[in-house]
Copies of this chain bind each other. A is one copy, B any other.
């Protein structure tokens, strides 16, 4: 990217809102995945109009534009694998409107999920999608990756709460999709084409989000199981009951070890798996439903079921759950987090299969995740210095994906494909399906300007641009 282009970028966003200084670029070279790529420049536009002008410039000068929220993604979706310009939504962070009567909110893409939660709570409302990163991930990023979370088992994912979007297309047009009416079938569903497209089909600048009333009461319990299989049985029995839990989180023994400092009571050593179960609704319903699910756990073979006695205990359980991902990294410096999902009832087969893979490849694997959705986060713990271990992990990951697909599952339940899983896409998708996706990308982004090599067509050669961990 030459200086002429950089100056044009400066003139569009203002030179105080962009930088090409290496120390600044490093801050945008990574996300929550373990790879780093230096962009040529980073800019912080303030509006869809500025982004449109940047994209028009990119189409003239042929450089890549990579949209970035808070950079909390786990699959490299916001990394500049081809260099180019990273544009953040950090200056587009206003909650524009909360409409308590229609139960909707208009927000700019850079608003943190957690900030919307706080603002909505003032009206007795909440936004159901709750990725573990919710306090520091943006709603634009949540939508671009179609983020899920622990509440998805009852309330669904981000896709289900995005009613309308303002999007800058890869050719610079500013498009408004969707409707403020709850039901709309006017034309193609561009909203849901953009949601989950990882910034490859458009830059989300504003979102109209659906909010719902905060349940009056919540019941939280922790069920401990002697084997993973009995925990899986409990999951099956809970999900085929009439009571839909608002949370059904699973942790294996190692996961529990990682966070036991957060858990008030010590976990007996004969505990092989924990389920964090929550129900919500009116107080009487919660009490009845909690009893039903407690019994399902005990019938399935739980050693004990412990209910959170107060909001402090509930908070402790949640802090533990949310701290899992970072806590695991304390054990080993490198963590490969795979975010697979299978049909709910296949969880036992998945867990058994993962245990076999861990033995076969002599790897330490930690499993936790959203059991109610069949969405398990499989964490391979590695020492990056041990090249032989890393290469065993590569084989293990590929076999994990083959196992998942053989169970009718999917490579990613909620983290997206980004660059992390792009090389494996053909394990799940037929070429006829990726061809359709390519045709859409080609039709909307003929010069492949917007977030190239994400989702599919990940070009191995761009690995050459990757910074080594010690670089810089």
Question: Which A residues are closer than 8 A to B by beta carbons?
Answer: 99-104, 145-146, 148, 152, 156-157, 159-160, 169, 173-177, 179-190, 192-193, 195-197, 201, 213, 215-216, 236, 239-242, 281-282, 284-285, 288, 341-345, 370, 373-375, 408-417, 421, 425, 428-430, 432-437, 439-440, 442-444, 455-456
List the B side residues contacting A174 at CB < 8 Å: 432
Q: B409, A456: Cβ atoms under 8 Å?
A: no
Q: Do B284 and A417 touch (CB < 8 A)?
A: no
Extra A-B contacts (12), CB below 8 Å, given A102-B344, A189-B197: A146-B185, A159-B189, A173-B435, A175-B430, A175-B433, A179-B341, A179-B408, A184-B410, A185-B415, A186-B421, A187-B456, A188-B201
Contact indicator B408/A240 (Cβ below 8 Å): no
Known: A240-B101, A282-B242, A436-B169. A341 touches B183 (CB 8 A): yes
A99: chain B residues at CB < 8 Å are: 343
| Contact across chains for A179 and B409 when beta carbons are under 8 A apart | yes
- Copies, count: 2
A126 shortest CB reach to chain B, Å: 12
B455/A188 in contact, CB under 8 A:
yes
A-side interface mostly: loop
B residues within 8 A CB of A414? 183, 185
Whether A187 touches B434, Cβ cut-off 8 Å, given contacts A374-B181, A410-B179, is yes
Contact B195–A100 (Cβ < 8 Å)? no
- Given A190-B433, A436-B169, A437-B190, the answer on whether A412 and B184 have CB atoms closer than 8 Å is yes
Task: Determine how close the nearest CB of chain B comes to the CB of A158; give it in whole angstroms.
Answer: 10
Please, which residues of chain B bring their CB within 8 A of the CB of A434?
187
A33 to B222, CA, bound (A): 56
Shortest beta-carbon distance, A33 to chain B, in Å?
A: 15
